[in-house]
Amino acid sequence: MNEEKSEAPGRRRFLWLSGLGAVGATAVGGAAVLADYVNPKVLFEPPTAFSLGKPDMFPVNSVTADYERKVYVVRTEVGFFALSAVCTHLGCITRWLEDEETIACPCHGSKFTRDGAVVQGPAPRALRHIAIRLEEGELIVDTAVEVERDAILRT
């Protein structure tokens, strides 16, 4: 009889600590789920629209490459248009070859004219023409907006 009384507080204490541990584990799990919920699951990518500078930085009848941002700005006698430098075959970044007046892909040999038309495959389509506009005296290109092939920013 005396042994039962002496075991009871130990068992009670064990159950109390087990319960406390379960509550603590639940609280920690809940906090982890809350922290996961509060932190956004987004990729922070560079903006698709950016300035390339003032129009007079681009000579008439020129092709200017910005390989970091994967665009070409072409200035004609009439105005400007912009091309994506991303090859339409498998996405390599093309290169402007001034001597050949050609945009060429180093990966599989596709070639394009300065207005993006395919001269030589395997690229299945012309380079994308992308939006270009004048804003506060600067040329703004938006790689997320594709425009018609004949779209031109007249200057």
Q: By the criterion CB under 6 A, which residues form the site for ligand FES?
A: 87, 89-90, 92, 105, 107-110, 122-123
Would you give the distance in Å from CA 44 to the centre of its chain? 8
Q: Which is nearer to ligand FES, 53 or 106 (CB)?
A: 106
Structure tokens that stand for 68 in this block: 């970091």
Q: Which is nearer to ligand FES, 21 or 91 (CB)?
A: 91
Structure tokens that stand for 127 in this block: 């380079």
- Which residue(s) pair with 74 in the sheet? 63, 81
Least distance in angstroms from the C-beta of 41 to ligand FES: 31
Q: Which is nearer to ligand FES, 84 or 110 (CB)?
A: 110
Q: How many CA atoms lie within 13 A of 39 on its CB side?
A: 7
Least distance in angstroms from the C-beta of 106 to ligand FES: 8
